Structure 1
Amino acid sequence: MSESSLFVDLVNSWFGSLTLNLLCYSTVFIPGYILIQYFKKSKYIERAGSGLISKLITSCVYGQNYEKLMTTDLASSKTLPAERSTTYRCFQIAFCFVGLQASYLTWGVLQEKIMTKEYQNSEGSIGHFKDSQFLVFINRILAFMLAATYLGFTRQPRHTAPIYKYSYCSFSNIMSSWCQYEALKFVTFPTQVLAKASKIIPTMIMGKIISGKKYEYFEYVTAILISAGMTMFLLGSTESKASSSSSTTLSGIIILIGYMSFDAFTSNWQGELFNQHKMSSVQMMCGVNLFSCLFTTASLMQQGSFSLSFKFMLTYPAFFWDSLILSICSATGQMFIYHTISVFGPVVFIIIMTIRQGLAILLSCIIYAHPVSVMGILGIIIVFTAVFLRVYCSHRLKQIQQRRAGGDASKV
C-alpha cells in the first residue's frame, strides 16, 4: 500500500512528469537521429532525384547549398526600405510598444491564473488544471500556423539550413516553456519574472560554450548586479513564505535553474543558425514551432493527456477561453518581437520588454496580492537599474565603434 502510494506520488510529481516527457520525446529523437545518420553515411545527396520526397529528405538532412544561392538571394535582401518620416516611425514604435505590452501582460496574467487558480463551471464543480505540456502545445500550434501563413503570403530569403537543426532549439524551447509553467506551482509570478531578468549570466556562459563569444567588462558588472538584485528579491519574498515547505522551495529553484539554462541554449543556438544560414526570423519561428508541435503531440498522445485536457476544456468553458487568449497572446507576441527587432533593433526592444517586466510584476502583485518586502523592492530597483545600465553602455559602445570606423574610413 505504501509502496504503491509512493509510486503514484512520484509519477504525479514534477520530476516524474519531466522523466515521462523526456522518454516520450526520445521516441522522436532516436528514430530521427538514426535516419539522419543513415542518409548521411549512405551519401543520399549524391543519388537524390528531383521528386518531392527526395527534395524533402535533402532539405531535412542537408539543407540547400548556400554558396550557390548567395548571389540571387543577397541581391534581393540588399534592397533597403525607403526612409520614413519621424511621425511614421513614432507611430510604429508606439504600435510595437502597445502590441508587446498587451500581448505579454495578458499572457503573463493568464499564465498564472491557469496554473495556480481553480476553475468552476455552472454546475458548481471545481477543477485545477495541471498539464503544463498541453499549454505549451496549444501555444506552439497557433504560433506555427501564424508563421506558416505569413510565409505563404510573403517573399522570404531562400531557406538553406538543414531542417533537423531546428529540433535542438525546439526541444530546449519546449523544456524552457515547461519549466516556466511548472515553476508557477512552486514560486510566485514576480519571482519567476525576476528570474528572467537574471538570465544574463547563464546566457553569457552558454554563449561562450556554443559560440566562443567574448564580453565587455560592463556586461559582467551588470550581470553580477542583476544576480545580486535577484537574490535580494528572493530573500525578501521568502519572509512571506514561512508556511511553505523546504522541498517546495527547493523544487521551485531547481525548475527555475532548468528554465534559465534551456532558455540560454535556445537563444544562443538560434543565433548560431542565423549567423550560418541567414534565414528570416519568421522562418526560424516556423521551423522551431514545427518541431515543438511534433514533440508535444507525440508526448501527449503517448501519455493519453490529450483526452484529459480536452475533457477539462469541455467541463470548464472558462479554461477554454483563457487557453485560447493565452495562445493568441503568445503567438502575436512573437510576431511583435520579430517586427520590433527588425525595424528598431535590439536596444529599443530590450527597453520595451524591460518596461513590460516591471508592469508584469506590478500587475501580479496587485491582482494576486503577492507581498514584497523592503529588501525585495530594493532588489527590484537594483535589477532594473542594472538592465538599463547595460542597455545604455551597449548603445554608447556601439556609437564609439561607429565613430572609429568612420574615422578609419576617412583616413583611407
Structure 2
Amino acid sequence: MSVSAMDTMSGKLGLIDLKYNNPRKHISISIPSKTEDMSPHIKSVDELRVLGINLSSFSQPAQFSICVVGVFVFYLIYGYLQELIFSMEGFKPFGWYLTLVQFGFYSMFGLVELQLTQDKSRRIPGKTYMMIAFLSVATMGLSNTSLGYLNYPTQVIFKCCKLIPVMIGGVFIQGKRYNLVDVSAAVCMSLGLIWFTLSDSKVAPNFNLTGVLLISLALCADAVIGNVQEKAMKLHNGSNSEMVLYSYSIGFVYILVGLSCIGGLGPAVAFCAQHPVKTYGYAFSFSLTGYFGISFVLALIKLFGALVAVTVTTGRKAMTIVLSFMFFSKPFTFQYVWGGLLVIFGIFLNVYSKNMDKMKLPSLADIGQRIMSGKKTRPLSQTV
C-alpha cells in the first residue's frame, strides 16, 4: 500500500499527525459533525422528554412556554398543599419527616419513569450524586423545617432571594459572566422580596431567629444545587428521571440515618399514624405535584440554564404568595403591592437581557445614550 493511500485512509478514519519518523506518535480521532451518522445512543441523548412530552420536537419558544406552564401549574398546587399540611395542629415539628416521605415518593416516581424510558443506564458519577443528594436534603429539609418557625409567605420570600446566590454560584462553579442587566434584575427582584419581608414583619410579626437561619442555609444550598445539576447534566448528558431517582434515593438514606440517630423518627411516625389521610395523603399529592414540577425545572436548567430556571421559579413563588393570601387568611398591606411590582420589573429585566441578542433589542446602555442624546438636542430644537 502506498503512502498516499495510507494518508487517504487515515484521513477517512480521522487519524491525524501520524508520523513515521517521529518516535512519539500522536493519534487523535476527529469528532463527527451533526450531519454525519451518529450512534443511536448519542441520538437518544438529544431527546429531552418531560412526562412523556418530547420537547426536542418543539421550537425553542414553545419549549420555554411548556416548561413555564408546567412549573407554574404544578408548583402552585405544590405550594398550596405544603401550606395546608403545616396548617395542621401539631405537625410543625415534623418537617424533616415530611422531607423523608417526600424523598421516598420522589425516588419511587423516578424509578417508574426511568423504567419507562429506553435508556436506563446511569451516566452521572456516583460521587456527583452524593453531592447533589446532600444539597437536595439541605435545600428541602431546611426549607420544610423552617415552616415550623416562619409563616409560609415569609419562607417563600426568603427562598426567592436565591437569584443572586445562583449568579454567584454560576461565576465560581461554571465560570459564567453576567451582564449589567442580569445583575440589575437580580437586585430588583431581591429588593422587592425583601420589601415583602419588611412589610410582613410590621403587619404580622411572626419572625424567629431559628427559622431565619434555617431558610438562609436552605437558600445557600438551593443556590449551589442548580449550577451543580446544570454542569452535571451537560457534562454527562444525564436524563431528568436519572437525576431525580439517584439524587433523592441517596438523600432518602441521608435523612433516614439522621432521624434515626437523633431519635426523631418515632414521634413523627406516631403522629402521622393518628392522621394518615391528612399526613400521608396530602404528602403523596404534595410529592406528586412537586415531582412533576421538578421535571420541568430540570428541563429548564438543561435547555436554558440555571439563571433562567431560577427566574421562572421566582416568578412562580411570587404568584404562590398571592394565592396564599387568597386561600389562607392573613393581614394585608399595600407595601406588598410595591414589592411585587419591583419583583415584576426584575423579571422583565432578566427576560429582556435573555432576548437582546435573539430579537436584536437595544441594550440598556444604548437606551440610556438615546435618552441622554434626546435631552441634549431638545433645548437646541426649542431655540431654533
TM-score (norm 1): 0.67
For residue 390 of structure 1, the aligned residue among 328, 333, 350 is 350
- Structure 2 counterparts to residues 214-293 of structure 1, below 5 A: 214-242=177-205, 244=206, 248-293=207-252
**Quick check: 2:124–2:233 contact (8 Å CA) kept in 1?**
no
**Quick check: 2:123–2:238 contact (8 Å CA) kept in 1?**
yes
Question: Counterpart of 1:373?
Answer: 333
Code of the aligned partner of 1:225: C
Kindly indicate whether residue 112 of structure 2 is the aligned counterpart of residue 149 of structure 1.
yes
For residue 363 of structure 1, the aligned residue among 319, 323, 334 is 323
Code of the aligned partner of 1:311: A
RMSD over aligned Cα atoms:
3.4
- The structure-2 alpha-carbon separation of the partners of 1:179 and 1:314, relative to structure 1 and needing over 3 Å to count, comes to same
SS of residue in 1 equivalent to 2:93: coil
For residue 74 of structure 1, the aligned residue among 35, 42, 47 is 42
**Quick check: 1:157–1:280 contact (8 Å CA) kept in 2?**
no
Q: Residues 137-159 of structure 1, C-alpha deviation per residue, up to 9 Å, x if partnerless?
A: 11111111111222222123854
- Structure 2 counterparts to residues 198-213 of structure 1, below 5 A: 198-213=161-176
Code of the aligned partner of 1:367: F
Shift of residue 308, structure 1, vs aligned partner: 2.4
- The structure-2 alpha-carbon separation of the partners of 1:82 and 1:152, relative to structure 1 and needing over 3 Å to count, comes to closer
Partners of 2:328 and 2:137 in 1: CA distance: 27
Question: Counterpart of 1:197?
Answer: 160
For residue 113 of structure 1, the aligned residue among 69, 80, 84 is 84
- The structure-2 alpha-carbon separation of the partners of 1:76 and 1:177, relative to structure 1 and needing over 3 Å to count, comes to closer
- The structure-2 alpha-carbon separation of the partners of 1:198 and 1:166, relative to structure 1 and needing over 3 Å to count, comes to same
For residue 331 of structure 1, the aligned residue among 291, 302, 317 is 291
Partners of 1:278 and 1:101 in 2: CA distance: 26
- The structure-2 alpha-carbon separation of the partners of 1:223 and 1:98, relative to structure 1 and needing over 3 Å to count, comes to closer
Residues 164-173 or 366-375, more deviating: 366-375
Shift of residue 134, structure 1, vs aligned partner: 1.1
Partners of 1:293 and 1:346 in 2: CA distance: 24
Shift of residue 223, structure 1, vs aligned partner: 1.3
Residues 392-401 or 345-354, more deviating: 345-354
Shift of residue 300, structure 1, vs aligned partner: 2.4
TM-score (norm 2): 0.72
**Quick check: 1:354–1:384 contact (8 Å CA) kept in 2?**
no
Instruction: Tell me which protein shows more helix as a share of its residues.
Output: 1
- The structure-2 alpha-carbon separation of the partners of 1:82 and 1:284, relative to structure 1 and needing over 3 Å to count, comes to closer
Partners of 1:325 and 1:167 in 2: CA distance: 27
**Quick check: 2:96–2:141 contact (8 Å CA) kept in 1?**
yes
- 5+ residue gaps, structure 2, are 1-28, 33-37, 49-53, 362-384
Tell which structure's C-alpha radius of gyration is larger. 2
Code of the aligned partner of 1:259: A
Shift of residue 222, structure 1, vs aligned partner: 1.0
Question: Counterpart of 2:376?
Answer: none
SS of residue in 2 equivalent to 1:300: helix
Partners of 2:72 and 2:344 in 1: CA distance: 17
- The structure-2 alpha-carbon separation of the partners of 1:387 and 1:167, relative to structure 1 and needing over 3 Å to count, comes to same
Shift of residue 167, structure 1, vs aligned partner: 1.0
Partners of 2:55 and 2:224 in 1: CA distance: 36
Partners of 2:275 and 2:339 in 1: CA distance: 39
Q: Percent identity?
A: 24
Q: How many residues align?
A: 319
- The structure-2 alpha-carbon separation of the partners of 1:209 and 1:320, relative to structure 1 and needing over 3 Å to count, comes to same
Code of the aligned partner of 2:268: S
- The structure-2 alpha-carbon separation of the partners of 1:374 and 1:211, relative to structure 1 and needing over 3 Å to count, comes to same
Shift of residue 378, structure 1, vs aligned partner: 0.5
Code of the aligned partner of 2:236: H
- The structure-2 alpha-carbon separation of the partners of 1:78 and 1:157, relative to structure 1 and needing over 3 Å to count, comes to farther
Partners of 1:136 and 1:100 in 2: CA distance: 20
**Quick check: 2:240–2:295 contact (8 Å CA) kept in 1?**
no
- The structure-2 alpha-carbon separation of the partners of 1:384 and 1:195, relative to structure 1 and needing over 3 Å to count, comes to farther
**Quick check: 2:133–2:251 contact (8 Å CA) kept in 1?**
yes
